[in-house]
Chain A
């Protein structure tokens, strides 16, 4: 072995050592995360939806065409660079125009572009077809977590929040990443059945977020005040990870998405479990409340729903009627105020609040009847609200 090779080997070994030192200073070794990113990944992840396969195919197709053109064009350029240089005695030719050539290299790329657009068109149309979904889920972007509500299909009525694991957030601040699912672990993943068309409706509470999961081939902005939708049909059971893809403020990097695709049987079992869990947490509509408990609950409902217009001091303002001192609120006939809260007034200027539960309406009405200068001492029980619902 020549000294030259030895020297190279030594240099390589030193380089490898330095590399290892660098990597270990990055604190820990990380493994690939199935359904999430892999170390040293240089291409799309393994796709588990039809649209995902199409996207990968299209990308490969484009890559091949672009590479061929690239090699062709730059083959010519580098040939020219090596041959037509003055140091090799090249004399400059005199041509500087050719209409034929110009037409050829305008028309040929035009045709290539059309050939590229054809398969893409088919995928765009398929991608945008969100009809006939088996399950519809609403994903709400909130600074900085995701809210999921099952709107339609098996599991209808389920709703929960999905937040980044607090320990991982602390690890980020400490500069010490932990685990293979670093920044991707959430408390409650979105659970969906395999081989079912899932329509995801996106919206947001505050600023624009984007709900995207690479392995499912989906990404859709979640826009406050608007609803948009996308869909996927996962072909394989597994865990798939995504993140928020639209800058949404300070914690943008800390609102991951975890989609858990399960078998139909597991999904049914999950729905049952989740429903029981929710029922256990829900209010008993037959419960008889005390004034103090109702007022405390009502204060929460008021600040979440009413306070924006009626103000914390209950004085309202502009078109918004005051509650403090209002004859309707103070009226001995409780049904007058309940009717307004349930059905709204003035063409929705005061909206109908039917979507609140009987307990919530009972609580908030009791609160307003006994707060500020309103000292009626009246108490509304959930049953009375239920009786007035039509």
Chain B
């Protein structure tokens, strides 16, 4: 019966929309990589705004010393949930959204390898997000042990801790399924002629990221499962009361946590490696070394975890090993920055919004890289550990790094996704507001950290007031800039309001995603395309 209706329906549709379901079924039963990619991006942006509101709660309380708006317990809930939601709810799903949209288009595949698993890995996010977001209303409030949920503080948390652990398990399962899908798609569904070393760098960075995810998400699952059994089933993995070792939790957590940092930045490197050549109108410099640098960063990420733990007290040799290994990461990361600048060198550059965000990314992310190098030095880290310097550092790499790269990506590929051009003026305003307020917010945090202000403090000695006020003002400015982005860029584009986008909105852009019309039709590359030698054009 339904098959008949679908069939009849198909006749009235344009050819490229053949068989596209409508209404809520289109989304709930989605198996199309583009629809799923859109859902991922919308979900991630929603969580980003929610996590941002939590952050503004933190900055509101810290505007001046003394408790004005929230009590210390709620403050700890805000910091914890801001971290968990931004990492697991915003940044990671957003990159999976990019991968869903772009990997099949860039390698000339019809869709992701496992279309139904793709649907499941998205829809698993919803119950997890609901559980995380509603944990504020559970008895005792949301988890308040920090996003790193260190033992044995987790033993003192209320039932929301179990909800958060369950949510993380689900998110982990979703990530693993997404990763398997991406790996299989990239390895098996490339169009003939699209060899691995001709693949766009975004696919390369995601391929490596997917392996990282498969390697470390189970480690996180193990750590939080042991936390769960410590809480309820009388085990003592991390509970010193029963002979457990709380530091072991940190080792296991950071064995996941450090590769996680690169999971959140490698795809960003991929986006930047697409945007810079497009607007410099020049091929990416040192493609091969970019691939090797990405792989080196991924491998090194497994042997540096204990630099998060210099103050836990490890032997001299341990501190030295983790210090040296961490400093080594500066080398491949430096190679990437040099390659991007060499790509810009003697190009023919224009500065539309994607390029602005890409250049902003290189500039500000590199500052985060330098503070990372400084933090890698164990003797200095002893002073900086758990101060605002660390907060400044990781927001420089996660906000100015991951987030700015994603903004660059949205402006760059948005016309292909939606079929309309964004408003260039609105994009530029969004960029300048973002980069200025970002620095107003986070640069003073370096000073606070050097002066010794501990992080996760609901109240602070009054000498720290000045910089905290500036940071709070910056944070609200940054928040408003994102609201502006929502109303001036995202909503108009999603509603199709704006100048129609040509098939190739950027004259310097290369790659198979620009070989299909804008907006990209529901089905693309249903038969494998024939590619030119460089695998950048379809020739028949």
Residues of A within 8 A of B (CB): 22-23, 25-28, 30, 32-33, 36-45, 51, 54-55, 58-59, 62-63, 66, 69-70, 73-74, 76-77, 80-81, 84-87, 90-98, 101-102, 105-106, 109-110, 113, 116-117, 120-121, 123-125, 127-128, 171-177, 180-184, 202, 206-208, 210, 212, 214, 217-221, 223-226, 228-230, 242-254
Contact = CB atoms under 8 A, between A and B. Distances in A.
A102 B286 contact: yes
Interface in B333-358: 334-335, 337-338, 341-351
Nearest to A174: B66
Given A30-B465, A120-B379, A253 B319 contact: no
A93 to B, nearest CB: 4
Interface of B: 64-68, 72-73, 76, 144-146, 150, 152-153, 156, 240-241, 243-247, 280-289, 311-313, 315-316, 319-320, 323-324, 327-328, 330-331, 334-335, 337-338, 341-351, 359, 362-363, 366-367, 370, 373-374, 377-380, 382-383, 385-387, 447, 450-454, 456-467, 469, 508
A86 B461 CA distance: 52
Contact of B283 (A96, A116, A206, A225): A96
B64 A121 contact: no
Contacts of A173: 67
A253 B313 contact: no
A299 B370 CA distance: 59
Dominant secondary structure at the A interface? mixed
Contact of A109 (B152, B334, B466): B334
A218 B374 CA distance: 17
A36 B462 CA distance: 11
The 5 closest A-B pairs by CB, nearest first: A225-B240, A228-B313, A175-B66, A214-B452, A37-B463
B136 to A, nearest CB: 16
Contacts of A22: 469
A138 to B, nearest CB: 14
Given A85-B348, A247-B76, A250-B73, A120 B323 contact: yes
A124 B383 contact: no
A26 B64 contact: yes
17 contacts: A26-B65, A36-B461, A62-B373, A62-B377, A66-B370, A73-B337, A77-B363, A80-B349, A84-B345, A95-B285, A109-B330, A128-B316, A208-B150, A223-B313, A226-B246, A247-B146, A247-B386
B456 A84 contact: no
Contact of A252 (B379, B387, B456): B456
B282 A92 contact: yes
Contact of B347 (A70, A92, A249): A92
A102 B312 CA distance: 38
B275 to A, nearest CB: 14
A206 B152 contact: yes
B349 A245 contact: no
A42 B344 CA distance: 35
Given A27-B66, A39-B463, A109-B334, A253 B345 contact: no
Nearest to B145: A247
Given A105-B334, A226-B247, A251 B386 contact: no
Given A90-B348, A207-B150, 4 more contacts: A59-B380, A84-B346, A92-B281, A206-B152
Contacts of B153: 207-208, 247-249
B66 A176 contact: yes
A85 B350 CA distance: 6
A43 B450 CA distance: 5
B351 A121 contact: no
Nearest to B457: A253
A301 to B, nearest CB: 21
A50 to B, nearest CB: 12
Contacts of B312: 221, 223, 228
Nearest to A181: B461
B71 to A, nearest CB: 8
A180 B171 CA distance: 46
Given A42-B451, A245-B311, A252 B76 contact: yes
B282 A28 contact: no
Nearest to B315: A128
Nearest to B328: A113
A164 to B, nearest CB: 11
Contacts of A25: 64
Contacts of A202: 313
A87 B349 CA distance: 8
Contact of B331 (A110, A127, A210, A217): A110
Contacts of A54: 379
B319 A44 contact: no
Contact of A97 (B67, B285, B337, B451): B285
Given A32-B463, A127-B379, A175 B67 contact: yes
A45 B335 contact: no
A234 to B, nearest CB: 16
Nearest to A230: B313
B344 A84 contact: yes
Contact of B452 (A27, A37, A69): A37
Contacts of B373: 62, 66, 116
A183 B459 contact: yes
Contacts of B385: 210, 212, 219, 245
